[in-house]
Structure 1
Amino acid sequence: MGLNSLIFNIQMVKATNLRYCIYKYLGAHGHFHDVPDEKYLNKLCKYFYGKEMDFNDPQTFSEKLQWLKVNNHDPLLTKMVDKYEVKKYVADKIGESHVIPCIGVWDNAEDIDYDRLPDAFVLKVTHDSGGLRIIRDKKQCDVEETNAFLNSRLQRNFYYAGREWQYKNVKPRIIAEPYVDTLGKSSSVEYKITCLNGKVEFITVCKGIAHSRLDFRTNDFYDRDLNRLDMVTNYYANSKEENVMPQCIKDMINASEKLAQDFPTVRVDFYVDKDDYIFGEMTFYTWDGFFKFIPGDWDFKLGQKLILPEKR
Structure 2
Amino acid sequence: MNIQTVLNKGKRFISDPLYRLRVMIKMGAYNSLSDEAFLKKMFPKYMGYALNLDNPQTFSEKLQWMKLYDRKPIYTNIVDKYQAKQFLADKIDSKYIIPNLGVWDNFDEIDFDTLPNQFVLKCTHDSGGIVICKDKSAFDKESARRIINRSLKRDYYLIAREWPYKNVPRRILAEEYIDELGSIDLLDYKMYSFHGEPKLTVVCSNRFSMGGTRMDYYDLDWNFINISILHYKPSNKHYVKPPHYDEMKMLCKQLSKDFPFLRVDFYDVNNHLYVGELTLYPGAGFIKIEPSEFDYKMGEWLRLESVHRS
**1:234 and 2:226 aligned:** no
Q: Report the equivalent of 2:42.
A: 44
Query: Following TM superposition, by how much is the alpha carbon of 1:274 offset from its aligned partner in structure 2, in angstroms?
Result: 2.5
CA contact (8 A) 1:45 1:51 kept: yes
Partner in structure 1 of residue 258 of structure 2: 262
Return the alpha-carbon distance in structure 2 between the equivalents of residues 123 and 236 of structure 1.
Answer: 27
The equivalent residue for 1:24 is 22
Q: Deviations over 1:6-59 (max 9, x none)?
A: 9xx89x99xxx9333333332233332220111111111121223321111100
Tell me what 2:173 maps to.
Answer: 175
| Offset, 1:297 | 0.7
Counterpart for residue 99 of structure 2: 101
2:202: which partner in 1?
Answer: 204
- Whether contact under 8 Å (1:90, 1:99) holds in the other structure is yes
> Equivalent residue of 1:203, what SS?
strand
1:301 CA displacement: 0.7
Q: Please give the secondary structure, in 1, of the residue aligned with 2:225.
A: coil
- The structural deviation recorded for 1:138 is 1.4
TM-score, scaled to structure 1: 0.91
Q: Tell me how far 1:231 sits from its aligned partner.
A: 1.5
Give yes or no for contact 2:243–2:268 (8 Å, CA) kept in 1: no
Query: What residue identity is the alignment partner of 2:308?
Result: E
2:291 matched to which residue of 1? 295
Is 2:215 aligned against 1:219? yes
The structural deviation recorded for 1:183 is 1.6
CA distance in 2, matches of 1:24, 1:36: 17
**What amino acid is aligned across from residue 191 of structure 2 in structure 1?**
I
1:131 is aligned, of 116, 129, 135, to 129
Shift of 1:222: 0.6
Question: 1:20·1:44 contact (CA, 8 Å) conserved in 2?
Answer: no
- What is residue 82 of structure 2 aligned with on the other side? 84
**1:250 pairs with 222, 246, 260, which one?**
246
Aligned amino acid, residue 189 of structure 2: Y
Of 301-310 and 72-81, deviating more is 301-310
Which 4+ runs in 1 deviate beyond 4 A? none
- Compute the RMSD of aligned alpha carbons: 2.1
Q: Kindly provide the amino acid, as one letter, of the partner of residue 202 in structure 2.
A: T
Aligned residues: 302
Paired residue for 2:184, among 183, 186, 195?
Answer: 186
Structure 1: tracts of 5 or more residues without a match: none
Q: 1:274 aligned to 250, 267, 270, which one?
A: 270
- Does the 8 Å contact 1:185/1:208 carry over to 2? no
Q: Cα 1:27–1:299, aligned 2, differ >3 Å: closer, same or farther?
A: same
TM-score in terms of structure 2 length: 0.92
Per-residue displacement from partner, 1:140-192 (whole Å, max 9, x unpaired)?
A: 11101101210111111100001001111000111111111112332111110
SS in 1 for 2:181: coil
Amino acid at match of 1:142: D
Counterpart Cα distance in 2 of 1:67 and 1:83:
24
> % of aligned pairs identical?
37
Q: Determine the C-alpha separation between the residues in 2 that align with 1:51 and 1:295.
A: 15
| Counterpart check, 1:311 vs 2:287 | no
SS in 1 for 2:68: helix
* Structure 2 residue ranges without an equivalent (≥5): none
